[in-house]
Amino acid sequence: MIINNHSITFYSFNVKNSYYTSKNFPLEWQLMLLSDGSFTQNLNSIIGQNININLIRQNLINKNQIIRQVWIEGLHKNKMAFAESYWKKNDIKKSELSYCKPIGKSMINDELDISKKIHNINYGYNFFIEKTLQIKHPIFSREYIIWYNNKPLTTIKEFFSPNLDHIK
């Protein structure tokens, strides 16, 4: 993934044992990091605001793979997270990658029966996020695969803004 070239992880935990590792995290962070539901829907429920997608890039790479990079934003365009996803061109319908909708919402609208497998949750630095948000401290990120029809549909990596520490 492109964003990985700019990351330094100094803490990573195994999601299989996440209950014991994360029990000291605030409940909101547990919901955001460990939930197999839609991040944007969970965030909407926590903060009570509509969540918007600001598409940075969505194009074809490697002749058969689509990369999609978005900022997930709240009201007043405050950046809540950055997400990067990779798709095989032949595995998706045009409607599944709406330019302005979160992936989860698009899949719900298309009534796709999907599942999510979280692979890792990290805490560390990311040059791109630091530069964009003008911060100098570590952030949480996670990586997961969305499955459809028993096949991997997309790999997603999300980097969470430290501003989420202040949500209630």
Q: What is the pLDDT of residues 111-136, one digit of tens each?
A: 777 788 888 888 888 888 889 889 88
- Reference 128, options 6, 2, 5; nearest CA is 6
pLDDT value for 156 = 92
pLDDT tens-place string over residues 30-80? 777 777 777 887 777 777 878 888 999 888 888 888 888 999 988 888 898
* pLDDT given for residue 82 in this prediction: 94
Sequence ranges of the domains in the chain: 3-166
Q: Are strands 151-160 and 65-73 parallel, antiparallel or unpaired?
A: unpaired
The pTM for the full model equals 0.81
Contact 100, 167 (CB under 8 A): no
Evaluate whether the domain defined by 3-166 bears CATH number 3.40.1410.10.
yes
Tokens read off for 118: 């979280």
